[in-house]
Amino acid sequence: MAEAYDEGVVSEVIRPAAIVPERSARAILVELALHDVQNGGVWQSEPSLWSRYDRPWSGYGSPGAAELLGTIQVAYGTPTKYEITIYRVTVTRFGTEAGWTVSTICDEALAFGDLDLASCPRATLNAPPKPFRF
């Protein structure tokens, strides 16, 4: 029944979104590739999602006993061409039980670029548009 209600799953929209500057973005992407789950690491990075596992995968394309701890949803090339925007983080029930939080998942990935979530630059929020009237 816990699975039906996603008990223990923590999902947080990062507001305002965290913006990873170009220099840090490059370093993070290189390190995520070097720490890939299929190469003995614990990260799987895709163009819109970085996933943190508790251990390396057992083989190419085979997670084996590796459990997903959490994910970071990102957008590359925004707000500028070489920056990365972090806009949502999810910690799985397994990750929550293991003591992981939104901050710790983010901080581990951002540390590759000498950043943490608390000190990461943030997107500017514009005022909402005026309501449309006929």
Domain residue ranges of the chain, discontinuous segments joined by +: 7-113
Nearest-Å Rg of the Cα atoms of the chain is: 16
What pLDDT is stored for residue 57 in this prediction? 92
What is the value of pTM for the model shown?
0.86
- Sheet holding 49-53: strands in order across? 10-20, 84-91, 68-76, 49-53, 43-45
24-66 tens-digit pLDDT: 999 999 999 999 999 999 999 999 999 999 999 988 888 989 9
**What angle do helix axes 102-110 and 22-34 make, rounded to 10 degrees?**
100
* CATH no. for 7-113: 3.30.310
Does the pLDDT value for residue 1 go beyond 50?
A: no
Does the pLDDT value for residue 19 go beyond 60?
A: yes
